[in-house]
Structure 1
Amino acid sequence: MRRKSALIGASAAMMLVLAACGGGAEETPETGNTGAAGGETGGAGVEDTSLTIYTARDTNITDFVIAEFEAAYPEFEGNVEVLNMGAQEVLERVRAESANPQADVWWGGTQQGLATGAEEDLLAAWEPEFAADMDEAYKDSEGRWFGEILLPEVIMYNDAALSEDEAPQDWDDLLDPKWEGEIIIRDVAASGTMRSIYSAMIQQQSPDGSDPEPGYEWLRQLDANTGEYAANPADLYLKLSREQGTVSAWNLQDILIQSETQNMPFGYVMPESGAPVLVDGLGVVNGGNTEAAELFVEFLYEDDLRAQLAEDFFQIPAVEIESEPEWLANLDLNPMDVDWDVIGEHETEWIDYWNANIKGQN
């Protein structure tokens, strides 16, 4: 539900930077050379200070975090290369480069995508300090990937065109013929968010995954109401803000970022039957610059940085933080009962079937 007045946004300095940057990006205030973790860290003693990161994170989150990392470890300044792409694209690229790894960190991916990468020996096993207190459900048992944030998937709508009460209140409401042509969906195959939402809808119809047909029928009806498939998140935001459609399905964090820091006309509804809650995480690429990668991952989990990412970028951390921002403390989260193991086993075949036999055909 929309809580614009109660949400804690970024600081005034952050907003000045945002205004200067434009382009739908979220920037946060400059923090000097102390780093988000407080005080000058420095002195990493890493031999190779080059670092390549493949990430599904928004560019302004990555810009902010990399700036903080380089402030904490000046020896990395100018040596961190970040490639932003869809979560599924990260998996496919790391897989394609496995014989000659080009990335050091895989940052941003669903637990089912990261689990696939771990099974294919694409991720290195290790024991970071922060993992000791992490919920077992949020990490790989062999230390190959770790949850960073929790992403509730909700119903998104243009709040300049619809009131909260007028927007769909639950997933099945999206199938109502009154929404024909009003729904815009981020192209599913390349998006970890959309793959997870669609897979969760199938798994709700078939708990053990043995009979996806009822779920496919649900997706056929959704496809019939879908006016457009947006090529990427920026395209989705643009089309929805221009009222080329008024309704979508997307993750809560990005909706809040676009609404609260970019003044986009977006609201959300927490679905009555529950929101699939993804564990979105990261891992160290097997065969990359392991020492630098591990240093970066450890930095990501420092409490002050996690608290700032929660405050300014609306992240729900997968680890406990000392102080929660008001929006998070007041979040009325309604998790859907989802079996992510079943989804991990069947997601590829389900999405491939949707892509070949349902998308745009209804």
Structure 2
Amino acid sequence: MKWRASGLMIAITLMISLLLSGCSSNGNAGGSGQKEKGPDGKKLEDTLVVYSPHGKDILGDFEKQFESKYHVDMKFLDMGSQEVLDRIRSEKNNPQADIWWGAPSELFSQAKDDGLLEKYKPSYAGALDGMFHDSDWYWTGTFKTPEVIMYNTKEVSKKGAPKDWDELLDPKWKDKIIIRYPLASGTMRTIFSAMIYRTYKDTKSPKKGYEWLKKLDANTKKYAANPEMMYNNVAKGVGPISVWDMPDVVMLKEQKGYPFDYVIPKSGTPVLTDGIAIVKNAPHLEAAKAFYEFVNTKASLKKLAEKYYRIPTRSDINQLPRWIDEADIKPMDIDWKVFKEKSNKWMEHWDQQIKSKSKSKE
């Protein structure tokens, strides 16, 4: 009996030892091996929440990559960049997101002023020009995004497509333009604000810009509630003309077979800095830092350029796709501080005084 009891104790001890060993080697969300540490050398949390307008293709791809590398359960919410800002504002006292990935720089600047962002200087800071990061490192730019005139190649010839912004006001385009509803879209808010700023910079009045937007509204057939609806309307010829960002147009044309092409406006175009930031008091701060670094590595940015048609802000990425190297872009001279100060008021005026009620968001 003594021998049997001691043998039982040995067996129990061995089982406990094996269980503890298993927990040590497999105690992560993604598989075997010890969980990698974050950029500060600290242990990562088990979860990461990302708010982003980058779409399910990019977000789903990087979710798999990040989870595989760090064994962190990444959750994302896909919505317009202005909607992200509004949501983070509403959650200020109880943050739910860790990372905000994707929005024009002026929206990040607004968030910084509202105390919604966490300061973080990334490891690749030396590869960023001053125009591609916040002076205090509350956000950094990931992509450069030129805005263009998009058209359906089955409905409009290259020769016949509008070559500049003012050509969109030609009466021949009446009821042929589809616009992404601008109040929820950082891209469209920037384009509309740029049209106002062209004359505002000299006159200090938005009046002529409002007149321009009113004429565009007269030619606009409908305002699409989200990018996918806008793409579908243009592809089907409901309205063969739109304005959007160049990388998305190239992606839709080359990767998804949409009958799209684009014109870079000859007078100049706003070139957005599309950024990334950590949310203030992020529930999973170390995982947020790891993701911030992960999506901005040379390998990630090269993949984003080749597979998802994004133009990196980092100056040390070589051998980018030809369409990036050959693009003849004339950046519009813009004071982004003015955009930050005036954009909300300008868009409120457009919504209340200019937008045709019969063309409400569809």
TM-score scaled to structure 2, two decimals? 0.86
Q: What is the rounded CA distance, in whole Å, between the counterparts of 2:202 and 2:275 in structure 1?
A: 25
The percent of aligned pairs where both chains have the same amino acid is 40
Secondary structure at the counterpart of residue 85 of structure 2: helix
Q: Could you say which residue in structure 1 is the equivalent of 2:296?
A: 301
Q: Is the 8 A contact 1:181 1:245 kept in 2?
A: yes
Q: What is the rounded CA distance, in whole Å, between the counterparts of 1:147 and 1:312 in structure 2?
A: 19
Q: Could you say which residue in structure 2 is the equivalent of 1:43?
A: 36
Any unmatched runs of 5+ in structure 2?
A: 1-32
Task: Identify which of 55, 69, 72 aligns with 1:72.
Answer: 69
Once the two structures are superposed, residues 292-317 of structure 1 have per-residue CA deviations (whole angstroms, 9 ceiling, x without a partner) of 10110011111011111111111110
Once the two structures are superposed, residues 46-85 of structure 1 have per-residue CA deviations (whole angstroms, 9 ceiling, x without a partner) of 2412100000112101111221212222x21xx1110000
Are residues 1:123 and 2:120 paired? no
Q: Could you say which residue in structure 2 is the equivalent of 1:187?
A: 181
Are residues 1:167 and 2:165 paired? no
Q: What is the rounded CA distance, in whole Å, between the counterparts of 1:313 and 1:354 in structure 2?
A: 32
Once superposed, which parts of structure 1, at least 4 consecutive aligned residues long, lie more than 6 Å away?
none
Q: Is the 8 A contact 1:154 1:271 kept in 2?
A: yes
Are residues 1:274 and 2:268 paired? yes
Task: Identify which of 309, 312, 315 aligns with 2:310.
Answer: 315
The residue identity in structure 1 corresponding to 2:94 is: N
Q: What is the rounded CA distance, in whole Å, between the counterparts of 1:275 and 1:42 in structure 2?
A: 45
Q: CA RMSD in A?
A: 1.6
Task: Identify which of 341, 344, 350 aligns with 1:354.
Answer: 350
Q: Could you say which residue in structure 1 is the equivalent of 2:50?
A: 53
Q: How many residues align?
A: 320
Q: What is the rounded CA distance, in whole Å, between the counterparts of 2:328 and 2:44 in structure 1?
A: 46
Are residues 1:152 and 2:146 paired? yes
Secondary structure at the counterpart of residue 261 of structure 2: strand
Q: Could you say which residue in structure 2 is the equivalent of 1:207?
A: 201
**How far is 1:93 from its partner?**
0.1
The residue identity in structure 1 corresponding to 2:121 is: E
The residue identity in structure 1 corresponding to 2:297 is: E
Q: What is the rounded CA distance, in whole Å, between the counterparts of 1:88 and 1:319 in structure 2?
A: 25
Q: Is the 8 A contact 1:209 1:346 kept in 2?
A: no
Q: What is the rounded CA distance, in whole Å, between the counterparts of 1:273 and 1:47 in structure 2?
A: 48
Q: Could you say which residue in structure 1 is the equivalent of 2:231?
A: 237
Work out which of the two has the higher radius of gyration on C-alpha atoms and give 1 or 2. Answer: 2
Q: Is the 8 A contact 1:316 1:328 kept in 2?
A: yes
Q: Is the 8 A contact 1:203 1:209 kept in 2?
A: no
Q: Could you say which residue in structure 2 is the equivalent of 1:226?
A: 220
Q: Is the 8 A contact 1:223 1:361 kept in 2?
A: no
Q: Is the 8 A contact 2:120 2:139 kept in 1?
A: no
Q: 1:253 to 1:41 in 2, by over 3 A?
A: farther
**How far is 1:345 from its partner?**
1.2
Q: 1:151 to 1:209 in 2, by over 3 A?
A: farther
Secondary structure at the counterpart of residue 181 of structure 1: coil
**How far is 1:132 from its partner?**
2.6
Q: 1:175 to 1:361 in 2, by over 3 A?
A: farther
- Written as runs of structure 1 = structure 2, the 5 A alignment for 1:88-103 is 88-103=82-97
**How far is 1:210 from its partner?**
2.7
Q: What is the rounded CA distance, in whole Å, between the counterparts of 1:41 and 1:167 in structure 2?
A: 56
Task: Identify which of 242, 251, 269 aligns with 1:257.
Answer: 251
Greater helix content: 2
Q: Is the 8 A contact 2:50 2:97 kept in 1?
A: yes
Task: Identify which of 315, 320, 326 aligns with 1:324.
Answer: 320
Secondary structure at the counterpart of residue 271 of structure 1: coil
Q: Could you say which residue in structure 2 is the equivalent of 1:17?
A: none
The residue identity in structure 1 corresponding to 2:111 is: G
Q: Could you say which residue in structure 2 is the equivalent of 1:81?
A: 75
Q: 1:236 to 1:165 in 2, by over 3 A?
A: same
**How far is 1:209 from its partner?**
7.5
Q: What is the rounded CA distance, in whole Å, between the counterparts of 1:240 and 1:52 in structure 2?
A: 33
The residue identity in structure 1 corresponding to 2:36 is: G
Q: What is the rounded CA distance, in whole Å, between the counterparts of 2:299 and 2:146 in structure 1?
A: 23
Q: Is the 8 A contact 1:52 1:103 kept in 2?
A: yes
Q: Is the 8 A contact 2:45 2:287 kept in 1?
A: yes
Q: What is the rounded CA distance, in whole Å, between the counterparts of 2:274 and 2:230 in structure 1?
A: 21
The residue identity in structure 1 corresponding to 2:99 is: V
Once the two structures are superposed, residues 219-244 of structure 1 have per-residue CA deviations (whole angstroms, 9 ceiling, x without a partner) of 00000000111110000011111100
The residue identity in structure 1 corresponding to 2:62 is: V
Q: What is the rounded CA distance, in whole Å, between the counterparts of 2:324 and 2:154 in structure 1?
A: 25
Are residues 1:338 and 2:334 paired? yes
The residue identity in structure 2 corresponding to 1:46 is: K
